Amino acid sequence: MLYLSAEQRKAIRDKPDDDKFLAESRGQPLPPALLKALLGMAMIGTFITYYDNPFEVQRFALQQRWRLVTERLGESWKHRPAWCLFISQDQRTAAVSIRGTDVEQSRGGDIFTDINARPERYATRDGACPLVAHSGMLAAALALEAELRPTLRALVDAGYRLILTGHSLGGAVAALLVWLLRHGTNGEQLPQEAEVLGIGYAMPAVVDRDTAEQMKPFFSSLINSMDAVPRLSLGTLSRLGSEVRACARESGSDLDQDLQHYVDRLSTVWAPRLRDGNPQVAAATTSALQPQDGTASSPARVAGEGDNCSIETPGDAEDADLYVPGNCVWIYRVRGHLEASVVPCDLPPLRRLILDKRMFQDHTATAIHQALLAVRASSSSASGSASAPRWQKFCEASELCPCCGSRYEWMNTARSGKMRCHAMTNCRCCGLVVCVACATSRRALPEQGILEAARVCDRCVWRGSNDAEVLEALSQVYAELGGHSAGQRGANG
């Protein structure tokens, strides 16, 4: 596993501009207005729903001119995720945010759906627009649709725009919910002119490819760099399996197990720790927005019940692989910079799992927000990857680290050629390949648009401290300072 990770790392660092080239040649530039919307909804769409306490949620919401009007945060069950509904009066917008799985600090009760990634075919009553979707998330979306439809209908009738959003699994449920609201499950469609839009942050692949394309006019998905969750699908897992086997054949039988937990964790990201008993839908917080007949507070129906719609398992799982829907906004790394493009959902780097510590780090709400800020910084100034130094490729590096003159892998126990890649890194300041131990210092490089502390080699950290003219000028500076203070004494006396 560690060898495969080394191979993947070498492949990426041998072609440091590949992702940018692919994203730009096969995608299109990220419209500034979409970047603004992604940033603007990031708080509501990502971290805020992980609070159980509505007062905390309200505190954050009010700071950003949103108002929490109703929620079901306390109770989340299998196939019944927690959610909250916000209103922005000045923007005439209602936003529903759906809680996902907090992969970082997995809290059992919040994990509402399971590893059951079996795709299911679903069609509305009239058979129009069939879609294939992740079965667990589809069940969650159907339950939420039944629960929220009366309230959302009332908001639309009052002239509100609807935005559905969420992080991780919550984003996937938001995507399906947008689809269900737009197509109607029970012959009840929202008015044609209703604005029902969605943004999913770090969401997994959830629908078939055709549906993913068809959702472009009303949905966007944000994929942060190496995040593994949007890349999880039957197809990518099976590809990872064959890569591991191929690498194992090549590297002999004594594979290091250090990275085994990555794959173990991947397959248990959605593993449920379920309560026993029946879900009871807690009555939503009383809201002036509930329709007079009180339908919003009546218990939601079991998913699909009475909908006269069909759910079945599609025959060929290969054809039914799932994709991230709508406009896929991919934030990618290019020589230490974060840039973003709108890319096709089947772009090869998005259909392959990269074994790297970033595969989980990039999934968190704070990492996503930070990445969006970095994209804004590099797109709104002359900085960005254009101002970054050229990165030396790993394959171009000599045997010795240019900083310390030692072999790159000097600090490693395992010194095979493959393991060497784990001991190499690029200095973000000069771009040279140095040994990891010579680049333990981290600096923000705002002149390049790098806002977060990034690896800088020891030589660059202290660069400029022994330039010839520095000491040359010293006696002159001393003399001037002395003359100035003598002059001041004279003036005072």
| Site residues for Zn ion per CB under 5 A | 401, 403-404, 427, 429-430, 435, 438, 457, 460
The least CB distance from residue 393 to Zn ion, in Å, is 16
Q: Which of 128, 227, 225, 212 is nearest to 176 (CA)?
A: 212
Rounded least distance, CB 408 to Zn ion, Å: 7
Minimum gap (Å) between residue 456 Cβ and Zn ion: 6
Q: Where are the alpha helices (DSSP H) in 158-307?
A: 169-183, 209-214, 234-251, 260-268
Cβ closest to Zn ion, residue 151 vs residue 385: 385
Q: How far is CA 311 from the centre of its chain?
A: 30
By C-beta, is 61 or 435 nearer to Zn ion? 435
Choice between 39 and 414, CB closer to Zn ion:
414
Give the number of C-alpha atoms closer than 13 A to the C-alpha of residue 118, restricted to the C-beta side: 8
Cβ burial 370-408 (10 Å sphere, 16+ → b, else e): bbbebbbbbbeeebbbeebbebbebeebeeebbbbeeeb
Cβ closest to Zn ion, residue 197 vs residue 430: 430
Residue 6 makes CB contacts below 8 A (sequence gap 6+) with 418, 419, 420, 421, 422
Rounded Cα distance, 429 and 335, in Å: 10
CB of 333 to Zn ion, least distance (A): 18
Choose between 26 and 415: whose C-beta lies nearer to Zn ion: 415
Question: Shortest Cβ distance from residue 221 to Zn ion (Å)?
Answer: 36
CA neighbor of 85 nearest in space, from 44, 140, 36 = 44
Contact 455, 439 (CB under 8 A): yes
| Residue 84 or 427 with smaller CB distance to Zn ion | 427
Q: How far apart are CA 401 and CA 27, in angstroms?
A: 37
| Identity at 325, one-letter amino acid code | P
> Between 269 and 427, whose beta carbon lies closer to Zn ion?
427
Bridge partners, residue 329, by sequence: 222, 342
- Closest approach of Cβ 413 to Zn ion, in Å? 17
- Residue 493 beta carbon to Zn ion: minimum distance, rounded to whole angstroms: 52
